[in-house]
Structure 1
């Protein structure tokens, strides 16, 4: 029996011109919807009899003026409600979230007297209203009557307060109008009204007995804001949507909801200020299921290479939607070419490759390839290609100030000679627009400042004005700190190629608090928060344990990195600085004490974020290559003798950016992350 995916995708950048008060436009919501639509169309497992249902009765993709309140309701009731027991339902909303003055009937459910809402295109016009959280719950309950696998993804926020940061956020002022009772979609549903009347305040988020079974992925906590983000190629996206779709593209099709949001959360915490994506489920066991219940096709361990007459070039049948990254100043995506029919072991021995190639242009569905070493490939035949190297994106930095100013001119000149052989820095790319930059290097009062969204990332150079002014040495130190941040970001975003056979669920990473107070707000283990405890007359930092479990039938090699808020990278859990072998079906535990550095406490910082990143490989590797303390110069390349594998060369490039070449073995690898916040009591 065929299985169907019923999707309702809503993206709103521009709201009705008659909205009162006016609703500020956004820039990335339509891009988010296009990205998830493309992902669904391309990655659905047609061979497994999954079908994306494209309704002819009502639109299932609603953008801007199409996304009226009634159109969204119709999408639920006339499209999503057709889903059956074996089907999957996806509701995806990218736009403004807000609040709405609560009606008297709901006063007992909302202590702050406001409903959380989604703003439709015409929500703020006369006679129309936002979709309130209780209405969304009601619509989900209708969809869930036939028990499909239901997923709700919301890239918006609901705090209703003023914007605290300079970046664009998906949040609009609350609606202070007194909403009439008969405007709610369940106003005439007596059964629903009885259930609402029976709820107490503590039940409001669950709507037990009223809200149907589903999984919800949301962009941030209730007190945070959902931000927009500029991608590597300059496209505006929702930060949550971008990290979500990138993680989905780069995993091998079977990532669980729990691991998906853990990875997205870690990326968001590392890249975006005050935004922590969350996940909720009416049944916590469903968080261990693969995304969309397994409807996404699993990538093979190779790509098919063929000659495309239309493109007049060699191509592989996979592109951006499959996780193939664009080339950058940090390198190219390199491929080894094998005969069709090569077995798994042959594909991992690079000496068996009959040609080599590099990706020159990444399209959504395919990539253009240039053959760099040819052993007589025939344009009339197909071949198999495996990834042997991935590019590492440089940090995009905007120099603030006139290029004629002494400080900016010095920094620009130093950057041009900061790389090997007095070439430009390989880690830092100077851009012409602040909108295209990850951070800004500016000069003020004799100091260099590195900032992101007007917030300093590190201490200025020098830390206190001393009257000396700007020097080449200080400019070099500023570029060095930028390179340090770039290496940290490279490790944070380090992910395996989609062709890796090591799926995210083959090695589990769990976090346990051995001492200290667990004050985690997330019930599903997305982000841990642990607080110091007062013992024997002093505040003692918490002890955290990590447990790694190998669920595969082969020995794998692992280690866990600690990426600190101060841009340090450490190996805190195990004595080995390289990798630890975990036999098939075995577990390994390590623990350590985690504290907030004194210099942070002295500055009044009482919450310190850590990201624990698990790296898994099919061969031994040197995790010590990634270590860095504070903002010191990068460590020297380690001399530890390990197998000459593609993954070790990648780790070395994170540290040195020098190109490497392996003639021996291609190893598979995988990463996953969990964020932990260390809290010092006030």
Structure 2
């Protein structure tokens, strides 16, 4: 038997008038606690301590480290999760190893109220060393800014940062041992940290699934539920970074230490487990419920489509609809059938709300008539003249919505599509009359459908971690994929980078193999999609096949994949392109065609009709492109999951932009 000691700190309200309040931090740690309570491995007990708002004073946090986390022994694990403001403080002169002359800080509930300082990173290190000296495994999650660096604010987001703290007087520092140990000090004990961003970036919170949340906490919990208990810290970093970059920019989650070792151990040392039978439907005093909630990734209020789950394998499909999402469970009602109250039913997700892409059209200093034509085209772009099912225009005054796409109208009859970071996604779209406006909406819908495929995931799958995608370096003269060579590790920001090499003949692209590894004890059907940054989706790498239990399969039938820039793009230093490998896994066979998209601007051809595919994958696959079709419920529903691996092909020699 072992124990997981958890200290969960979520601070929305601060005492000091100079520290602005937040809105999503309590939700972060409440959902983290709910996740832990539903996912502990057999033989592991949970001892949680939650400190909210005014409870989380500097003194209380320090005391909780010693009186609560300090109880952990060699067989136990420890988790410290902090959601709140982060900031900086000037480093005392004797901390000569701080090259920036600044320390990172956690802002406690009473920090800067009178003479109460923040909790310095050096103090946190002392506390963690004390705990790690006795505990078997120590993990830290920090969803806060690591500095007050000047990063542009986004509409609909709020940064978890405040201005730097004035230098703390020596008497306010933690204990005398800090002053003694600090110069030249290296940590005595190892612990692993998953941080929301780099030290010069802001961590943000926004509305996600109908609630205000920290983007990183939300992404990390999604990754934990999707990848399963075998996921390492490095695996979780990659998955969480993928989620974060889909919602904000210039926030890159970090893993410390990033070298192999503790970073490649399972989260919490292996103290988590999947649900015993996936998602279960059962009758309780309040009615019917399933044991999955918002902490597992189900969305709540704020969506237009309902969530449905179906009994595994039943023909015809027997479904329930979700009527209320709670942190650790969801209340449901049966659709057209009456379950037996004395039974429990294994369920799979059979309908999930697909994300509708938000679009901001026009704005100050732009051409009003051109923007108005695009907005009018959006209002009638759907079936029968209804609004576009893929896009939702947002009002510039809506402070709670961060638009994912923006249409700029720099002059009369011209539109350009950019993303929320300001990066241009299209060339100039001209002649924005009635026909030109419709074409602009077609471009927006193409990008939106591509995003829906990239973001597609099953938050309550029982297949979490069943199949992994491995990118393996090819050696000179090697043409067939090796069976067991270790894959290329992702960088600290979760991206697998493939770099050109310079030789006597110029720049040469790297060659790799792409391997699929079924780690489960059953055969599973897999399709590997390649999503390019030119908004193409294709399944040429692995168009679909079953992979044997504990077996491996390879893209391109085991042949090498050349990681090159697109044709016509010269390999100049600093050039780079991004792809996303999207693996879709299911218990039954399905076809890749519903997911495929041509590159933006390429001829699309004739859309194919419904495929003869069993289960939910056909429904959601067709829904990505054909939201006006009604899915048939004649076939059984089966479990499915996805894995996303971001790849970047780059030519070295130029500094990567911040």
TM-score with structure 1 setting the length? 0.81
> Can you list the C-alpha shifts for 1:639-669, whole angstroms capped at 9, x where unaligned?
7966433223322222222232253343332
Counterpart check, 1:631 vs 2:600:
yes
* Aligned-partner Cα distance in 2 for 1:525–1:17: 34
Counterpart check, 1:503 vs 2:479:
no
CA shift in 2, pair 1:554/1:36, >3 Å:
closer
Give 1:70's match in structure 2, choosing from 55, 59, 76. Answer: 59
- Contact 1:299/1:499 (<8 A) preserved: no
* Aligned-partner Cα distance in 1 for 2:592–2:133: 50
Equivalent runs, 1:88-99 vs 2, <5 Å: 88-99=77-88
CA positional deviation for 1:90: 1.1
* Aligned-partner Cα distance in 1 for 2:426–2:571: 13
* Aligned-partner Cα distance in 1 for 2:100–2:500: 31
Equivalent runs, 1:637-676 vs 2, <5 Å: 637-638=607-608, 643-657=613-627, 658-676=629-647
Counterpart check, 1:547 vs 2:515:
yes
**Alignment correspondent of 2:429:** 462
CA shift in 2, pair 1:480/1:254, >3 Å:
same
**Alignment correspondent of 2:485:** none
CA shift in 2, pair 1:414/1:361, >3 Å:
farther
Counterpart check, 1:487 vs 2:457:
no
- Contact 1:5/1:50 (<8 A) preserved: yes
Equivalent runs, 1:22-33 vs 2, <5 Å: 22-33=18-29
CA shift in 2, pair 1:253/1:332, >3 Å:
farther
**Alignment correspondent of 1:272:** 248
Give 2:550's match in structure 1, choosing from 571, 574, 585. Answer: 585
Counterpart check, 1:163 vs 2:157:
no
**Alignment correspondent of 2:104:** 116
* Aligned-partner Cα distance in 2 for 1:49–1:231: 34
**Alignment correspondent of 1:533:** 501
Give 1:226's match in structure 2, choosing from 183, 197, 203. Answer: 203
- Contact 1:152/1:216 (<8 A) preserved: yes
* Aligned-partner Cα distance in 1 for 2:343–2:551: 44
CA shift in 2, pair 1:444/1:583, >3 Å:
same
CA positional deviation for 1:217: 0.6
Give 1:324's match in structure 2, choosing from 284, 298, 307. Answer: 298
* Aligned-partner Cα distance in 2 for 1:26–1:157: 13
* Aligned-partner Cα distance in 1 for 2:421–2:238: 27
**Alignment correspondent of 1:445:** 411
CA shift in 2, pair 1:401/1:111, >3 Å:
closer
CA shift in 2, pair 1:116/1:371, >3 Å:
closer
**Alignment correspondent of 1:203:** none
Give 2:216's match in structure 1, choosing from 240, 250, 271. Answer: 240
SS at match of 1:248: helix
**Alignment correspondent of 2:587:** 618
**Alignment correspondent of 2:381:** 418
- The alignment of Structure 1 onto Structure 2 pairs a total of residues equal to 628
CA positional deviation for 1:303: 4.3
* Aligned-partner Cα distance in 1 for 2:352–2:606: 22
- Contact 1:621/1:643 (<8 A) preserved: yes
TM-score with structure 2 setting the length? 0.84
**Alignment correspondent of 1:512:** 472
- Contact 1:396/1:438 (<8 A) preserved: yes
- Contact 1:97/1:170 (<8 A) preserved: yes
SS at match of 1:435: coil
Structure 1, gaps ≥5 residues long: 55-59, 200-206, 338-346
Give 2:193's match in structure 1, choosing from 211, 216, 230. Answer: 216
**Alignment correspondent of 1:340:** none
- Contact 1:259/1:672 (<8 A) preserved: no
**Alignment correspondent of 2:94:** 105
Alignment RMSD (CA, Å) = 3.6
- Contact 1:330/1:394 (<8 A) preserved: no
CA shift in 2, pair 1:172/1:302, >3 Å:
closer
Bigger fraction of residues in helix:
1
CA shift in 2, pair 1:304/1:678, >3 Å:
closer
**Alignment correspondent of 2:6:** 7
> Can you list the C-alpha shifts for 1:23-51, whole angstroms capped at 9, x where unaligned?
44444323322322333344446xx3543
SS at match of 2:470: strand
CA shift in 2, pair 1:125/1:629, >3 Å:
same
Give 2:326's match in structure 1, choosing from 332, 341, 363. Answer: 363
